[in-house]
Amino acid sequence: MAGKSSRDSGYGYGDCGGDGNGDQIFCAIDFFYFLPEGCIAAIISFTSPRDACRLASVSKIFKSAADSDQVWERFLPSDYRDVLRNSDGGLALLNSLSKRQLYLHLSEHQLLDQSGTKSFSLERLSGKKCYTISAEELGITWGDTPRYWIWRTAPESRFQEVAELVTVCWLEIRGKIHTRSLSPDTNYAAYFVFKMSEEAYGFYSPAEVAVKTAGGKTETRTVYLVPQEGQNQRYQIVPRRIGVFNRRHMTGMQPTMQREGDLKLPKQRADGWLEVEMGEFWTQRDEDEEVEMWVREIKAGNWKGGLIVEGIEVRPKPVNIQ
């Protein structure tokens, strides 16, 4: 009786196809079972977080390797320890969670820095860094004048305070970030994060948003800050502190918004805020550039109010991952 072949034994070979002459093709998946777990983990660490989660369901040895600190340490940003040390509660996370748990936590929660004016998280699929710059860190024209802006707490905000517009005719908000704090070789986009109060008025004219890099390249876009469903809203109560001359131009129904095809509308976020994309920029490895971002509406000259500012979020542009 012929001895049992390696194909029949299930070790090393499988029914993976052949060359038509009976030759057997070595199965890659079977080959992995001969490797130490550390080698498997090293190989998985060169894939992606999504691939690691998929491979964890293949077998027990794959799950053990795919869930290991060796794998998820590589998926975390290279400076994640410094980021956590400078964050509120970051050290506790660092000392209590596995690297996989830490990665998942940072992809699901915003971590505030020690000043409480910036938040940090990870993009879930790629592990790229995301930051939100709070309204307190932004340069808001007349933002320190209670006649025009007020600062208050908001239960839906991740920050201590948000900025609420009382009334201005010159709206200008600026922010900046250094690319060294972001993930290298990544296409990023900046998003203005805000809400409109029930008493909001005067936002029938488009606003200008822009992103400018230190190299001088400026990307400017025209957007509306009012969602589609709010474009026919009427003016609310006119603030009493505005003079009679200006009051005359605000009463009655606001003009119909002219929506052009190339103008962008804000989108509703899962956290209840609105966002509108301001522009894109690329982070070059081993280079540090200052990126400026702004939103302004200064051309129409009409008074406006009711804008609630959360901040500016900077995160990687989505990529199609199969």
Question: What is the structure's pLDDT at 217?
Answer: 84
136 & 253 share domain: yes
| Partner residues linked to 242 by β-bridges | none
Give dist(CA 143, CA 137) in Å, integer: 11
The CATH number of whichever domain residue 190 belongs to comes to: 2.60.120.260
103 & 129 share domain: no
In a domain, 285, yes or no: yes
- Amino acid letter, 153: T
Query: What confidence category does residue 6 fall into, taking pLDDT thresholds of 50, 70 and 90?
Result: very low
- Kindly calculate the radius of gyration of the chain based on its CA atoms and give it in whole angstroms: 27
The DSSP element (H or E) to which 267 belongs, if any, is strand 267-268
237 & 257 share domain: yes
Query: Which residue would you say has higher pLDDT here, 25 or 49?
Result: 49
- Name which of 70, 193, 184 is nearest 126 in CA terms: 184
Say if residues 307 and 203 touch (Cβ distance below 8 Å).
yes
145 & 283 share domain: yes
For the chain, the average pLDDT equals 83
Q: What is the pLDDT of residues 208-262, one digit of tens each?
A: 999 999 877 888 999 999 986 555 444 343 443 444 334 334 434 444 444 555 6
What is residue 294's three-state secondary structure? strand
- Amino acid letter, 164: E
In a domain, 1, yes or no: no
131 & 249 share domain: yes
213 & 238 share domain: yes
Question: What is the structure's pLDDT at 12?
Answer: 37
102 & 154 share domain: no
Q: Which of 59, 90, 109 is the last residue of a domain?
A: 109
The DSSP element (H or E) to which 51 belongs, if any, is helix 49-55
Query: What confidence category does residue 286 fall into, taking pLDDT thresholds of 50, 70 and 90?
Result: confident
Domain count for the chain:
2
Give dist(CA 9, CA 6) in Å, integer: 5
Q: Answer positive or negative: Cα dihedral of 88, 90, 91, 95.
A: positive
Question: What is the structure's pLDDT at 75?
Answer: 96
Question: What is the structure's pLDDT at 56?
Answer: 83
Question: What is the structure's pLDDT at 175?
Answer: 98
Q: Which of 87, 109, 131 is the last residue of a domain?
A: 109
Q: What is the pLDDT of residues 92-145, one digit of tens each?
A: 999 999 999 999 999 999 999 999 999 999 999 999 999 999 999 999 999 999
- Asked if the model's pLDDT at residue 278 lies above 80, the reply is yes
Residue 205: CA count within 13 A, CB half-sphere: 16
- Name which of 179, 185, 236 is nearest 213 in CA terms: 179
- Both tokens assigned to 262: 């190339």
Q: What is the pLDDT of residues 106-117, one digit of tens each?
A: 999 999 999 999
Query: What confidence category does residue 32 fall into, taking pLDDT thresholds of 50, 70 and 90?
Result: low
In a domain, 14, yes or no: no
In a domain, 303, yes or no: yes
In a domain, 138, yes or no: yes
103 & 182 share domain: no
Domain that holds residue 295: 118-316
Query: Residues of the chain with pLDDT > 90: what percent?
Result: 61
Question: What is the structure's pLDDT at 244?
Answer: 33
| Partner residues linked to 164 by β-bridges | 150, 308
Query: What confidence category does residue 19 fall into, taking pLDDT thresholds of 50, 70 and 90?
Result: low
Query: What confidence category does residue 86 fall into, taking pLDDT thresholds of 50, 70 and 90?
Result: very high
98 & 215 share domain: no
- Name which of 225, 138, 125 is nearest 183 in CA terms: 125
Say if residues 85 and 96 touch (Cβ distance below 8 Å).
no
Q: Which of 63, 89, 109 is the last residue of a domain?
A: 109
Say if residues 15 and 7 touch (Cβ distance below 8 Å).
yes
In a domain, 271, yes or no: yes
In a domain, 42, yes or no: no
Question: What is the structure's pLDDT at 256?
Answer: 47
Strands 305-316 and 111-112: unpaired
Q: What is the pLDDT of residues 268-277, one digit of tens each?
A: 999 999 999 9
161 & 101 share domain: no
Please report, to the nearest 10 degrees, the dihedral formed by the alpha carbons of residues 76, 78, 83, 89 taken in order: 40
182 & 205 share domain: yes
86 & 163 share domain: no
In a domain, 41, yes or no: no
